[in-house]
Amino acid sequence: MKATAKAHSNIAFIKYWGRKEETLRLPSNGSISMNLSNLFTTTTVEFRSDLNKDDVLVNGEENNAINSRISKHLDRIRMLLQKNIYAKVISQNSFAASAGLASSASGFAALTVAGVAAAGLHLSEKELSILARQGSGSACRSIPDGFVEWLDGNTSEDSYAYKLFDQSYWDLCDIVTVISKEKKDVPTSTGQQTASSSIFFQTRLNNIAQKIKTCKNLIKTKNFDEFGKLIEMEALELHTIMFTSWPSLIYLEPTSLTVMKEVKKLRDEGISVYFTIDAGPNIHIICQAKDIDIVQKRINSIPEIIETIVNQPSKGTYLLEDHLF
Ligand code: PMV
């Protein structure tokens, strides 16, 4: 059977950085995110008895570095199916992969949902999230709709994401400023392994449970300015840990700092706008729907910006009727 799924990438407000268990991808701490309407992956999977290996095409490229991780993830589905049958996979991103726009989150979420459906299996949302997590940690947060919490858990069964609020709950926007489309030198999978070498890592873990509680409460009460302050400080904390890990990780580019300073300037002018950043140079600008035009115009006036992508909160991962092959 053939199945196609569409998954949206997500932006973490409280970040996943560091793992307490490598193989199962159990994170050192829980995290909170929002799915993004305009950053998505569409994937078609078909298990076929005429294949003698997986036939994978990602963004039109046959020998993608991600292919072995895709086959490993298909192995997890084959284990559930208890059948050794290879698959044809075609996957297409709406954006540049591996530039810190969480292509692995939407990629592995789409692969999980399409793969499970193509295998004729029926899993709950929680089971899909657990399975997606093993392909790429942040992918588990792209399975449920809207605003999501990923529980760190101590076993595989305990570490999954669930919906806090659906996509229509709060009209937040994430204006992604694309500063570079280059593939990053250090993939997040490698960075996750060195997080604990930062002297600030333990301090982060000591405070994280309270921070998650506060973040959830600020979303619940829609307290935008306190929420914005919290998530901006969280992004700066993440990059402080990256700077002070060994080998140090410097994902930011000079233009990233220009954008960060412009956001602060807008704030000084009375506009409620904040930033967050993942493992890459691109800055995610978080504002309320009413301020999009003014913020976008200002950011687009920075000459080094390649493009801006406006995102609303979005659904999680779902099956489509139309296939890519
Ligand atoms: O799921 P990964 O290994 O791509 O890690 C994602 C890491 C961050 O984007 C920096 C933070 C997060 O929680 O998404």
Instruction: Please give the torsion angle defined by the CA atoms of residues 141, 143, 144 and 147, in that order, rounded to the nearest 10 degrees.
Output: 40
Between the CA of 81 and the centroid of ligand 1 the distance, in Å, is 29
- Let me know: does 32 contact 215? Beta carbons within 8 Å: yes
- By DSSP bridging, strand 161-165 and strand 147-150 are antiparallel
What pLDDT does 100 receive? 57
Q: Are residues 98 and 187 in the same domain?
A: no
Q: Are residues 213 and 154 in the same domain?
A: no
pLDDT in tens, the chain (325 residues): 899 999 999 999 999 999 999 999 999 999 999 999 999 999 999 999 999 999 999 998 887 778 999 999 999 999 999 999 999 999 999 976 655 566 799 999 999 999 999 999 999 999 999 999 999 999 999 999 999 999 999 999 999 999 999 999 999 999 999 998 777 778 888 888 999 999 999 999 999 999 999 999 999 999 999 999 999 999 999 999 999 999 999 999 999 999 999 999 999 999 999 999 999 999 999 999 999 999 999 999 999 999 999 999 999 999 999 999 9
End position of a domain, from candidates 120, 143, 168? 168
Q: Are residues 158 and 247 in the same domain?
A: no
What pLDDT does 110 receive? 98
Q: What are phi and psi of 27, to 5 degrees?
A: -75, 155
Q: What are the residues whose beta carbons fall under 8 Å from the beta carbon of 239, sequence distance 6 or more?
A: 251, 252, 277
Q: Are residues 284 and 160 in the same domain?
A: no
End position of a domain, from candidates 133, 168, 203? 168
Q: Are residues 27 and 50 in the same domain?
A: yes
What pLDDT does 14 receive? 98
**Residue 318 domain flag:** no
**Which residue ranges have their beta carbon within 6 Å of ligand 1?**
12, 15-17, 31, 102, 104, 136-138, 188-189, 192, 278-279
- Number of the ligand 1 atom closest to the C-alpha atom of 138: 1
CATH code for position 306:
3.30.70.890
Domain tally, the chain: 2
Q: Are residues 159 and 222 in the same domain?
A: no
Q: Are residues 210 and 117 in the same domain?
A: no
**Residue 95 domain flag:** yes
Q: Per the omega criterion (within 30 degrees of 0), is the bond before 281 cis? A: no
**Residue 73 domain flag:** yes
**Residue 39 domain flag:** yes
State which of 66, 108, 151, 188 you would mutate to test the pocket of ligand 1, scoring each by most atoms of that ligand within 8 A of its C-beta.
188
Domain that holds residue 13: 2-168
What pLDDT does 64 receive? 73
What pLDDT does 16 receive? 97
Nearest-angstrom CA–CA distance, 294 and 299: 9
Q: Are residues 198 and 223 in the same domain?
A: yes
Between the CA of 303 and the centroid of ligand 1 the distance, in Å, is 28
